[in-house]
Amino acid sequence: MSQTDNIFSQPLDKVDSFSFDQQVVQVFPDMIKRSVPGYENIINSIGMITQRCAVDNSNLYDLGCSLGAATLSMRRGLDEKTGCKIISVDNSSAMVESCQQHIKAYKSDIPVTVLQDDICNIKIENASVVVLNFTLQFLTPEKRLSLLTNIYQGLLPGGVLVLSEKFIFNDATNNQLLVDLHLDFKRSHGYSELEISQKRSSLDNVLISDTVEQHYARLQQAGFKHNDLWYQYFNFGSILSIK
């Protein structure tokens, strides 16, 4: 069972940069549900996208898998396929350890390999579905294009990338309203003003958001010609890119 996230509930002398360490791992399912509008819808839909887009004898990748929520949803979507393998990758040792336990707890014949590595080092091969669920935003911007290019090159024709992110918006008025609505979402899930502001400081320069237009431009540069938002809830959303 996931514990309640109260990491930022007490005043901290110094707010450290956010990292996916053991303390975050322990509360992660609670943290992400209470912080990311639409997270559960996106996770469920990743299973549906997998069911429709995965092909027999291909690989599926969950890049920045955390505790494996998207991996498990993909695996549920593979019920009627044969010869598929899921490769789930995260560079946090605490996440990978917990992810392995979590995945083992659910029985299935579909193989899942959980790797502790930087997603920039992974060669994508024979892929029908690749998921980057709220992970690209944690890579330094200079590394983002080469990762997407690697993904494009490793996808089979017709293969898909699900790219979920926190966005910023060019229109300052819209941006402010969507940011405020996200903060209201957090308040409605029990986060205090102190928790919200300390978490925001801790994510400064760690989570670097792009606009939807910047994502489309980068995806096109990587080779993807078919890119569209399939989900948006305030300043969070998900793009589906097809090779």
Residues that bind ligand PRE (CB under 6 A): 31-32, 35-36, 134, 166, 199, 203, 207
Binding status of residue 2 toward ligand SAM by CB under 6 A = no
103 burial type by CB count under 10 A (0-12 exposed, 13-18 middle, 19+ buried): buried
CA–CA separation, 20 and 43 (whole Å)? 19
Candidate ranges 90-98, 171-179, 182-190, 197-205; the one touching ligand SAM (CB under 6 A): 90-98
Long-range contacts of 13-19 (CB under 8 A, 24+ apart): 15/198, 15/201, 15/202, 16/202, 17/202, 17/204, 17/205, 17/206, 18/199, 18/202, 18/203, 18/206, 18/207, 19/92, 19/206
Q: Closer to ligand SAM at the Cβ: 41 or 176?
A: 41
How near is the Cβ of 107 to ligand PRE at its closest, in Å? 28
Candidate ranges 50-58, 61-69, 169-177, 212-220; the one touching ligand SAM (CB under 6 A): 61-69
Q: Closer to ligand PRE at the Cβ: 15 or 207?
A: 207
From the list ligand PRE, ligand SAM, none, partner contacted by residue 90 (C-beta under 5 to 8 A by kind):
ligand SAM
Binding status of residue 134 toward ligand SAM by CB under 6 A = yes
How near is the Cβ of 147 to ligand SAM at its closest, in Å? 8
57-84 exposure pattern, b = at least 16 Cβ within 10 A, e = fewer: ebbbbbbbbbbbbbbbbbbbbbeebeeb
Binding status of residue 119 toward ligand SAM by CB under 6 A = yes
Q: Which of 172, 88, 166, 164 is nearest to 132 (CA)?
A: 164
How near is the Cβ of 31 to ligand PRE at its closest, in Å? 5
Residues that bind ligand SAM (CB under 6 A): 20, 32, 64-66, 69-70, 89-92, 95, 118-120, 133-135, 138-139
